[in-house]
A and B are shown apart, each in its own frame.
Chain A
Amino acid sequence: MPVQDLAILVIDENRIRASIIEDGLREAGHARVTVVNEINEVARVIERDMPDVVVIDLENPNRDRLEHFFTLSRALKKPIAMFVDRSDASAIEAAVEAGVSAYVVDGLKKERVKPILDMAVSRFNAFARLTRELEQARSELEDRKVIDQAKAILLRTRGLSEADAYKLLRKTAMNQNRRIVDIAQSLVTADSLLGPEE
C-alpha cells in the first residue's frame, strides 16, 4: 500500500496543536488520520482503527498508560516499537527535543514512516514557537500596562510630564540594575499601600 494509506493516530490533549498536526498530515496526503484529545477514548480507537503509527506529545502524563494499551491490544499484531529506527539517533534526538514521541507497528519500513515523524517534529516546533511568541506578546502588553500605571502615579504625585516620568523610571532602573517594569511594579505596589484609602 502507498505511504498515504497508513492509519495514523494523533494523541494530544492540546486541541490546537493536535489540529495543526492533523492538517499537516492531510496536506501530505494522509487520509486515515484520527485525533484523540481524551485519553479514555484511546483503547477503543486503537481497537477500531488499528493504527500503523501513533503520535503522542511527551508532556502527556498518559504515555505509560498508552504503552500498556499497546501490550494488551489484540488489534495490533505486535507490540509497537518506539520511533522509526533506533539507529537513527539524530531523528530520535530531534523528536524528543521537540517534545513528541511516535510509536510504529513493528516491521514498517523506515522510509515510509520517517516523513510522518519529521512532519510531526516540525509542526511541534512551529507550535512551540507560536506559543512562545504569544506568551512574549502577552507579557510585553502586561509590562506596558504596569509602566503606564507607574507613569500616571508620577504624573499625579510629582507633577512630571509623561516623558520625564519615563526617564525617571529608566534612570532608576539603570542605577539599580533592574528592569524598568520591576521598578514600575514596585512603585505601583508602594502607591497602593501608601495611597489614600479608597
Chain B
Amino acid sequence: MSLIALSAGFLPLLDSVLLVLAREKGFAAAEGLDLHLVKETSWANIRDRAALGHFDFAQMLAPMPIAATLGLNPLSVPMITPMMLGLGNNGVTVSAALWARLADAGAPATLAAGPVGAALKQVVASSEQKLRFGVVHQTSSHNYELRYWLMASGIVPERDIEIVVLPPPLLPEALGSGGIDGYCVGEPWNTVGVKNAGAHIATVKAAIWRSSPDKVIGMRAHWAEANSEIVAGLIRAVHHAAVWCGESTNHQEIAAIMAAPHYLGLPAEQILPALNGQLDIGGGVAASVPEHFVPYAGAANFPWTSHAAWFYSQMVRWGEVEHTADRARAAAMTFRPDVYRSALTPLGVPMPLADSKVEGLLAAPTEVPSTSGTLVIGPDGFFDGVQFDPDEVEAYIAAQRAA
C-alpha cells in the first residue's frame, strides 16, 4: 500500500514531539500517512506557508488558527484546529539579576504565580528602567498568559514594562547578554536558559492557567473538509503518539529522538526535564511539576471551544480585534471537538461529551461525562481564581476592560 504524503511545518519546541513521534514511531505510517516534517525558522513562515498550502497542516500557536479565521493576518484563510498538541509546556524565565531582586522582594523559589507576581510588582515599582520581557509572538498563548499574570499581579504591560518578540532559540542568549530581563517561552528554552544563561524559572504555565493548551494542529478549513479521511487518520496517529509520549518509561527514548539536529538539536539531558516535569529552576533548586507538559492525560488533546473563546477574549483585551458576537462565535468554532470525536470514536477512547467548559470550575481532578469509559480531567483555571465562562464572554471582556 502506498502511503499518502502529508507535509507539516514545525518550530524547534518540545511540543512538536507528538508530530515527531507520529512519524518516528510509525503511528502515521500505520494510518497510511507519510508525514514530512519541515523545521521552520519563524511562526510567520508557518502561518504563510500553511495559508498557501505549502504545508497540509502545521504545529501552530493555539491562537494562530483563530487569528486566521478572523482575518487578522494579510494572507488569512479560515483555519481549524481539530486537535491540541498537549497541555502546559511554558514557563516564565528571568535573568539571574532579576531573580535576585525578586527574591529580595519575597519571591519564593516554588514557581507559585501569585507570590512571584507580587514580588515582581514591587520590583517593577522600584525600577528606574522598564523591565523588558520577551515572548515568541504577539498572537501566542505566551503573550496572553504573561500579560494575564502581570495584570492580575497589578502590573500594566503597556505602562509598566516592555514586551518584545524574539524567536524561541534566541531568547536564552538575549537573556544572557542583558538584552531582555525575562521571557515566556515553550520548553526546552526555559531549561536551556537555566543551563546556559544562569537564569531562573520564576513561574510556569501550569501555575498561571492550569490544564491549558499551548500548541495545536492548525489546517485550512477547506482542505480539512475535502480530506476528512486523511484528517481522521492524522488525528488517530497523533493520538497514539500522545498516549505513547505520556508513558514515563518512554521519556529517555523520546529525549534522544528529539535531540537530533533536524528536530531540536540540543543535548537530550536538556530536553528530559520538561518531559518528566523534574525541573532545575536555577540556583540549584529542583522542582517537581507533574503538570508541566501533559501530552495526553486529562483530555489534553481535546479542542475545547472554551479555550478558543478565552484566546479570543484576550485578542479583544489587547486591541487586536474589536469584539462582536459573530467574531466571538467564529473564533470559538475554529476549535473542532466534533472532528476530533469522530476520528477517535472507532478506537473507543474516552472523550468529553461537552464541547466547552467553564475555566476554573474544577478545583480537583473530576470525572466528567464521556463518550465511553471513565474520563477524569482537571483541575483547571487561573491562579487568581477568576472564572471564565465561555457563555459570558462579553461580561468577561467588560470586567477585564474595567480592571
Q: A-side interface residues toward B, CB under 8 Å? A: 58-65, 67-68, 71, 81-83, 86, 92-93, 96, 101
Task: Give the CA-CA distance A30 to B170 in the complex, in Å.
Answer: 34
Measured in the bound complex, the distance between the Cα atoms of B51 and A82 in whole Å is 13
Give me 19 other A-B pairs in contact (C-beta within 8 A), A64-B137, A92-B52, A96-B49 excluded: A59-B41, A60-B41, A61-B167, A61-B170, A62-B166, A63-B44, A64-B43, A64-B165, A64-B167, A65-B165, A65-B166, A67-B44, A67-B165, A68-B165, A82-B74, A83-B75, A92-B75, A93-B52, A101-B48
In the assembly, what is the distance between CA of A65 and CA of B164, in Å? 7
In the complex, the chain B residue whose C-beta lies closest to that of A106 is B74
CB–CB A65/B167 < 8 A: yes
> Would you mind naming 29 contact pairs between A and B with Cβ atoms under 8 Å apart?
A60-B41, A60-B42, A61-B41, A61-B42, A61-B167, A61-B169, A61-B170, A62-B166, A63-B41, A63-B44, A63-B45, A64-B42, A64-B137, A64-B138, A65-B164, A65-B165, A65-B166, A67-B138, A67-B165, A68-B137, A68-B164, A71-B138, A82-B73, A82-B75, A86-B74, A86-B75, A92-B52, A93-B52, A101-B48
Residues of chain B within 8 A (CB-CB) of A59 are 41
Are B165 and A96 within 8 A (Cβ)? no
Interface residue B136 (Cβ < 8 Å from any Cβ of A): yes
Q: Is the CB of B222 closer than 8 A to any CB of chain A?
A: no
Q: Count of B residues near A, CB < 8 Å? A: 21
Complex contact A62–B48 (CB within 8 A): no
- Bound form: Cα–Cα A96–B50 in Å: 12
- Closest CB of chain B to A45's CB: distance in Å? 16
A83 engages B42 (CB within 8 Å): no
Rounded to whole Å, the gap between the CB of A99 and the closest CB of chain B is 10
How many Å from the CB of B55 to the closest CB on chain A? 11
Expressed in whole angstroms, the Cα–Cα distance for A71 and B166 within the complex equals: 15
Q: Across the interface, which residues of B come within 8 angstroms of A96, CB to CB? A: 48-49, 52, 54
Let me know if A58 and B45 touch, CB within 8 A. Answer: yes
A-B pairs with lowest CB-CB distance, top 6? A68-B165, A82-B74, A63-B44, A63-B42, A61-B167, A61-B41
CA distance A58 to B136 in the complex (A): 17
Measured between beta carbons, the chain B residues less than 8 angstroms from A86 are 74-75
Minimum CB–CB distance for B72 against chain A, Å: 10
* A residues less than 8 Å from B74 (CB atoms): 81-83, 86
Whole-angstrom distance between the Cβ of B44 and the nearest chain A Cβ: 4
Q: How far is the CA of A63 from the CA of B136 in the complex (A)?
A: 11
A106 to B388, CA, bound (A): 36
* Chain A proximity mask over B72-97: 1 for CB below 8 Å, otherwise 0: 01110000000000000000000000
For A56, the closest partner residue in chain B by CB is B44
With a CB–CB cut-off of 8 A, which chain A residues contact B165?
64-65, 67-68
Query: Does the CB pair B44–A68 fall under 8 Å?
Result: no
**From residue A143, how far is it (CB to closest CB) to chain B in Å?**
24
- Closest Cβ of chain A: how far from B252's Cβ, in Å? 30
Residue with the greatest number of chain B CB neighbours at <10 A, chosen from A60, A63, A83, A93: A63
Q: Which residues of A contact B43 (CB under 8 A)?
A: 64
- Kindly report which residue of chain B lies nearest to residue A59, judged by CB atoms: B41
* CB-CB nearest in chain B for A79: B74
A91 to B: closest C-beta gap in Å: 12
The answer on a CB contact under 8 Å between A68 and B138 is yes
CA distance A64 to B135 in the complex (A): 10
A128 to chain B, nearest CB (A): 16
Contacts of A63 in B (CB 8 A): 41-42, 44-45
Residues of A within 8 A of B45 (CB): 58, 63
- Residue in A closest to B143 when the chains form the complex, CB atoms: A68
Cβ proximity bits B178-196 to A, threshold 8 Å, 1 near / 0 not: 0000000000000000000
Residues on A with C-beta less than 8 A from B167 are: 61-62, 64-65
- Assembled-state Cα–Cα distance A15/B54 (Å): 28
CB closest residue in chain B, given A104: B74
Q: In the assembled complex, which residues on chain B have CB atoms less than 8 Å from the CB atom of A83? A: 74-75
- A64, A71, A86, A93: most-surrounded residue (chain B CB, <10 A): A64
The docked-state distance in angstroms from the alpha carbon of A60 to that of B136 is 14
Complex CA gap A67/B364 in Å reads 41
The CA-CA distance from A65 to B137 in the complex, in Å, is 8
Which of chain B's residues has its CB closest to A69's CB?
Answer: B165
Q: Pick the contact of A64: B54, B73, B136, B169 (CB < 8 A).
A: B136
A64 CA to B185 CA in the complex, in Å? 14
